[in-house]
Amino acid sequence: MIAKKMVKFVEGSSVTRAMFEEGKKMAAKYGAENVYDFSLGNPSVEPPKQVKEAIIDVLENDSPNFVHGYMNNSGYEEVREKIAQSINKRFDTKFSQKNIIMTVGAAGGLNVALKTLLDPGDEVIAFAPYFGEYNNYVANFDGVMVVVPADIPNFQLDLDTFAQKITPKTKAVIVNNPNNPSGVVYSEATIKKLAAILEEKQKEFGTAIYLIADEPYRELAYDGVVVPYLTKYYANTIVGYSYSKSLSLPGERIGYLVIPDEVDDFENVLAAANVANRILGFVNAPSLLQLAVSKCLDATTDVEAYDANRRLLYDALTKYGFECAKPEGAFYLWVKAKEDDAAFVAKAKEFNILMVPGSAFACPGYVRIAYCVDHEMIKRSLPAFEKLAKCYEV
């Protein structure tokens, strides 16, 4: 008999993952070239060649005990120092190795941060639409998820409603920029307003409210749009970063948390995050990947490839009459469903198009199309999208 809490997790198990499995079945039935699977955020661009070279270099030149051994639960000091300096160079910050904790991707980092911060009943605020796994991560530590409804049709942050949702029990706020699933980027002006509200509420309630910046898509921004670095706007910020998308390494599970000196109760937060990394069972982030990424901190993914996909899909779908949020970052297109989102997803499946209903992101009535796919597949899929649009013409 499994734990009651797990029953709920299993029942609500990821819709996105289910779609991905469905895609594999459909590919076997109809032929892979006739199925248009836009379900999963698995990068289509190969990892930069520096990554492979770095992995080989680590294996050939570093001592095996060093490469494969245990280390400080927060990660290798020299790796963390290199990452801190790289962040400082890019964002004009002043971090050192003590501010960096290597994690098992962004998912590992978010769980470490939430385990560090949450007592049962503590509230965590997220802005819809958001990555549905946040619900599970918050529930892991018996926190209570508080949702700010989507700001339709722009999908920016509804800050008036946000201010009303903050209570003395609010312990953390998660902001994901660029956003999965909307592809929207929150501007500096928006972040400044968000920070001002948090400062005011901390004073009003005499509490510490931590802002968790979930940033796996930081490098995926288009048309020169700037993604603000949140520690510069609000002292109580913890950044969660991942190489899953920026270096196309989602299966390798590598990322980090940034915990600035300025966060409330800094020494204890740091100590708790180090222990959380260990006792959640991660112990430490994968050693080989820590060393490898530290050797290619200037490597970049092929953002132009995603940009070409973005333009092709956005232009075609709007031409067919679909309403899409303006995609400025990440690799997702957020589209208004022409009927109930689950029914719309089912209708799209009749044309072999797989996408994820907005309900999985706390925002029914929309669907997410992940365009981190082969450009040719998008081209092949366009007639199917056109047929789908025709189903709703009156």
| Burial (CB count within 10 angstroms: exposed 0-12, middle 13-18, buried 19+), residue 85 | middle
CA distance 250 to 51: 13
Cβ burial 154-180 (10 Å sphere, 16+ → b, else e): ebbbbbeebbebbeeebbbbbbbbbbb
Q: Does residue 176 bind ligand PLP (CB under 6 A)?
A: yes
Which position among 123, 151, 214, 252 is part of the footprint of ligand PLP (CB under 6 A)?
A: 214
Q: Does residue 327 bind ligand PLP (CB under 6 A)?
A: no
Number of residues that bind ligand PLP (CB under 6 A): 13
Q: Does residue 106 bind ligand PLP (CB under 6 A)?
A: yes
Q: Which of 176/274 has CB closer to ligand PLP?
A: 176
* Residues in contact with ligand PLP, shown as a per-residue x/- string from 236 to 275 under the rule CB under 6 A: ------x-x-----x----x--------------------
Q: Does residue 216 bind ligand PLP (CB under 6 A)?
A: yes
Smallest distance from ligand PLP to CB 213, Å:
11
Do β-strands 210-214 and 170-176 pair in parallel, antiparallel, or remain unpaired? parallel
Binding segment (CB under 6 A) for ligand PLP, from list 3-11, 25-33, 103-111, 184-192: 103-111
Binding segment (CB under 6 A) for ligand PLP, from list 99-107, 337-345, 346-354, 379-387: 99-107
Which position among 26, 84, 107, 316 is part of the footprint of ligand PLP (CB under 6 A)?
A: 107
DSSP 84-138: HHHHHHHH-----GGGEEEESHHHHHHHHHHHHHPPTT-EEEEESS--THHHHHH
Strand partners, 368: 334, 356
Q: Does residue 228 bind ligand PLP (CB under 6 A)?
A: no
Binding segment (CB under 6 A) for ligand PLP, from list 25-33, 53-61, 105-113, 142-150: 105-113
Q: Does residue 47 bind ligand PLP (CB under 6 A)?
A: no
Q: Which of 282/385 has CB closer to ligand PLP?
A: 282
How does DSSP classify residue 332? Answer: E
Alpha-helix runs per DSSP H in 247-334: 266-279, 287-294, 303-319
Q: Does residue 370 bind ligand PLP (CB under 6 A)?
A: no
| Residue whose beta carbon is closest to ligand PLP | 105
Question: Cα 76–214–377 angle (5° rounding)?
Answer: 105
The contacts of residue 4 (CB under 8 Å, 6+ apart) are: none
Two structure tokens written together for 106: 């962004």
Q: Does residue 41 bind ligand PLP (CB under 6 A)?
A: yes
Q: Which of 59/288 has CB closer to ligand PLP?
A: 288
Q: Which phi-psi region, left, alpha or beta, contains residue 183 (left: φ > 0; alpha: ψ -120 to 50)?
A: left
Smallest distance from ligand PLP to CB 130, Å:
7
Dihedral sign (CA 342, 347, 348, 352): positive
Q: Which of 48/216 has CB closer to ligand PLP?
A: 216
CA distance 305 to 220: 11
Q: Does residue 177 bind ligand PLP (CB under 6 A)?
A: no
Q: Does residue 16 bind ligand PLP (CB under 6 A)?
A: no
- Binding residues for ligand PLP, per CB under 6 A? 41, 105-107, 131, 176, 180, 214, 216, 242, 244, 250, 255
